[in-house]
């Protein structure tokens, strides 16, 4: 199975679906993470955007190694400036076709962060177009089975599919800790991202809370685009 996570920022994969990615990688599936941006706005003003992006790129690669993913790439969008356009939709069509995934993981559209909103819409529309033979790009058409959306507890996101990550919660946390600059940034950022205060402890608690809902030690939750293909994610 091929699994592709398309995330807006370098730490999003670890935060939202790190346990699921680690589980699929451990069982031998091909796992890739495509980052829309390099997260260059994720600094407190003491560094340039270029410096922040360089640090976050390396953090992403380190986190990918912890999770066991096969590919870590960056799609070239600007942090805080992802917009919906036909041109950008085709960038995502090409990304999907390049990886030819069975399942795609990405952001839930009802999210406070505008980059998450735009990413969700671009991926969803590209998912439809990726299978159309006459929509020509650099790669051949593909037909992923499903999209699974992840979201913040502050949005209207309500998971329906749960992945047991009981054996991978520590791996998820270790991957998150590779994003050292962002663990510090989110603490300093304060109220805007209040749900991420004490991020490591919060994610561990969230995983355990979701696990209790479905009878396991820890879980991650997703909302599938198509109900009939939920089994692919487990």
- Tens-place pLDDT, residues 204-216: 999 999 999 999 9
d(CA 221, CA 149): 9
CATH homologous superfamily, domain 2-224: LmbE-like (3.40.50.10320)
pLDDT at residue 22 greater than cutoff 70:
yes
pLDDT at residue 2 greater than cutoff 70:
yes
Place of tokens 């913040």: 152
Backbone angles phi, psi at 45, to 5 degrees: 105, -10
Per-residue pLDDT tens over the stretch 157-177: 999 999 999 999 999 999 999
Please give the pLDDT value at position 186. 66
Q: Among 134-143, 157-166, 181-190, 220-229, name the one with the lowest average pLDDT.
A: 181-190
What confidence tier does 192 reach under pLDDT thresholds 50, 70, 90? Answer: very low
Nearest 5 degrees, angle CA 14-CA 12-CA 99? 85
Q: Provide the 10 A C-beta neighbour count for residue 213.
A: 11
Please give the pLDDT value at position 156. 87
Please give the pLDDT value at position 42. 80
42 near 79, Cβ under 8 Å?
yes
d(CA 112, CA 107): 11
Domain boundaries of the chain, sorted by first residue: 2-224
Please give the pLDDT value at position 87. 95
């Amino acid at each position: 199975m091929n699994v592709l996570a398309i995330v807006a920022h370098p730490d999003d994969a670890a935060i939202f679906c790190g346990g699921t990615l680690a589980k699929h990688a451990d069982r031998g599936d091909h796992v890739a993470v495509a980052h829309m941006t390099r997260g260059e706005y994720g600094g407190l003003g003491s560094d340039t955007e270029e410096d922040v992006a360089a640090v976050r790129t390396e953090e992403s690669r380190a986190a990918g190694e912890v999770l066991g993913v096969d590919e870590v790439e960056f799609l070239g969008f600007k942090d805080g400036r992802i917009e919906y356009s036909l041109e950008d939709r085709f960038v995502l069509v090409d990304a999907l076709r390049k990886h030819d995934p069975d399942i795609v993981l990405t952001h839930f559209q009802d999210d406070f962060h505008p980059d998450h909103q735009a990413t969700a819409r671009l991926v969803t529309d590209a998912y439809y177009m990726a299978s159309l033979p006459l929509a020509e790009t650099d790669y051949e058409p593909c037909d992923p089975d499903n999209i699974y959306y992840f979201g913040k507890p502050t949005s209207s996101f309500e998971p329906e599919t749960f992945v047991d990550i009981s054996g991978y919660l520590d791996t998820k946390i270790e991957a998150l800790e590779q994003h050292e600059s962002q663990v510090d940034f989110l603490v300093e950022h304060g109220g805007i991202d209040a749900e991420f205060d004490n991020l490591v402890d919060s994610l561990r608690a969230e995983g355990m809370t979701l696990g209790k809902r479905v009878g396991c030690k820890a879980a991650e939750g997703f909302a599938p685009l198509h109900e009939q293909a939920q089994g692919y994610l487990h």
